[in-house]
Structure formats: C-alpha cells, structure tokens
Amino acid sequence: MLKSLCNKQLAALFFIGFALAAYLQLHIMGIAMLAGAVAVYLCFTEFNQLKMFNKLKATTAPATADDKEGFFND
C-alpha cells in the first residue's frame, strides 16, 4: 500500500480515508460505501457530460472546404 502513495491523487484519497476513520470514527465498510457512492456519482456525471458533448458536436455543421481554404490563405 505504501508504494501506491507515490501517486499524489491516491495519497490524498488515502489520507481522506484515514481522517474519516480516525476522527469521525467510521468503520472501514462505511468509508468504502461512501467512496463507492461518490465514484458512481462521478461516473454518471462524466458520462452525461460526454453524451451532451457528443450530441452538441453532432448537431453543429461541419466546415466546408471553402471555409478551410479561406482560413489557410493569408
């Protein structure tokens, strides 16, 4: 477990879990369930943002050849 602390993001999560366990006196299962709920929420929001981005990208008109040529001709 100490080898994974070299990654700054994982180290932050490790210390957050430690603080929840030590100061709030939560059990390991409670911390795991809370972390799982946060992970599911983040995955769903990222998926919805990706879906909205793809829908927005599909509705915009592609650039024609004339627009591209006019941009590169100075």
Please provide the distance, in angstroms rounded to a whole number, between the alpha carbons at the two ends of the chain.
58
Of residues 65 and 52, more confidently modeled: 52
Quote the pLDDT of residue 31.
Answer: 87
Q: What CA–CA distance (Å, rounded) separates 22 from 44?
A: 30
**Tokens for 6?**
């070299």
Average pLDDT estimate for 42-58: 88
**Contact predicate 4/15, CB 8 Å:** no
- Against a cut of 0.95, is the pTM above it? no
Quick: pLDDT tens for 8-20: 777 788 888 888 8
Q: Which long-range contacts (CB under 8 A, 24 or more apart) does 10-19 make?
A: none
